[in-house]
């Protein structure tokens, strides 16, 4: 039996509901976070690898640390400052839980009656999650608000799309992004 990652096993039939023990896994057991019931033993095991809420493969520790650091700086420092600039492009979504307007400064480009942007963290971005819940959005372009409907375009080549968007923003998205996703907003006006 080859030694694999460690798991926590909880005895389901004991009187102490918090009785856990550390045991090695074999290599033939699945390598995603799941709860497995071991037949005829009353033991439940949870693996140490985490696929996250979306069921996507785990990201590296570096990518996760980078995501946390970048989103903290954006949320607490960069976004509050840049959303106040009169000519900064801003996307306004409706909060999926609160129902309140959420404004996110970003970079993108209007092409005809469409506004294109690339999310640096894909479906992990809060504004993308808000779009999934309610695709009606507003976009402030050059100081003027436009209403529209947002669409996620996963089949689009996000790296190629970045070449047609503003250069500075595209460079930043390429530098910090780990899961690029194209978003198209069909503008009503």
**Tally of CB atoms within 10 A around 47:** 20
Domain of residue 110 covers: 61-187
In sequence order, the 6+-apart residues with CB closer than 8 A to the CB of 118 are 108, 158, 161, 162, 165, 170, 173, 177, 180, 181, 182, 183
pLDDT digits (tens, 9 = 90+) for 47-85: 444 444 444 555 688 888 888 888 888 889 888 888 888
What is the number of residues in the chain? Answer: 189
What average pLDDT does this structure show over 112-120?
96
Q: In this structure, is residue 52 part of a structural domain? A: no
> Does one domain contain both 71 and 34?
no
Percent of the chain with pLDDT over 90: 50
The enclosing domain of 121 has a CATH number of: 2.30.110.10
The span from the CA of 164 to the CA of 112, in Å, is: 14
For residue 58, the model assigns a pLDDT of 57
Is the model's pTM score more than 0.75?
no
Answer yes or no: are the C-beta atoms of 179 and 121 closer than 8 Å. yes
For residue 86, the model assigns a pLDDT of 87
Q: In this structure, is residue 176 part of a structural domain? A: yes
Q: In this structure, is residue 55 part of a structural domain? A: no
For residue 60, the model assigns a pLDDT of 81
> Does one domain contain both 74 and 11?
no
> Does one domain contain both 18 and 98?
no
Q: What is the mean pLDDT of the chain?
A: 78
The span from the CA of 106 to the CA of 27, in Å, is: 44
For 21, the token pair is 């023990």
pLDDT band for position 17 (50/70/90)? very low
């Amino acid at each position: 039996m080859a030694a694999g990652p460690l798991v926590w096993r909880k005895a389901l039939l004991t009187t102490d509901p918090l009785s856990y023990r550390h045991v090695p896994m074999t290599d033939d057991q699945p390598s995603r976070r799941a709860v497995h019931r071991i037949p005829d033993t009353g033991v439940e095991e949870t693996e140490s690898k985490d696929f996250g809420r979306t069921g996507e493969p785990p990201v590296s520790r570096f990518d996760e640390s980078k995501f946390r650091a970048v989103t903290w700086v954006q949320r607490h420092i960069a976004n509050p400052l840049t959303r106040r600039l009169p000519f900064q492009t801003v996307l306004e979504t409706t909060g999926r839980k609160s129902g309140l307007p959420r404004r996110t400064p970003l970079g993108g480009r209007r092409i005809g009656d469409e506004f294109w942007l690339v999310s640096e963290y894909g479906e992990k971005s809060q504004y993308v999650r808000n779009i999934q819940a309610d695709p009606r959005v507003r976009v402030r372009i050059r100081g003027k608000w436009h209403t529209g409907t947002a669409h996620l375009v996963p089949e689009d080549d996000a790296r190629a799309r970045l070449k047609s968007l503003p250069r500075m923003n595209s460079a930043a998205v390429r530098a910090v992004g780990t899961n690029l996703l194209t978003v198209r907003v069909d503008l009503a006006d």
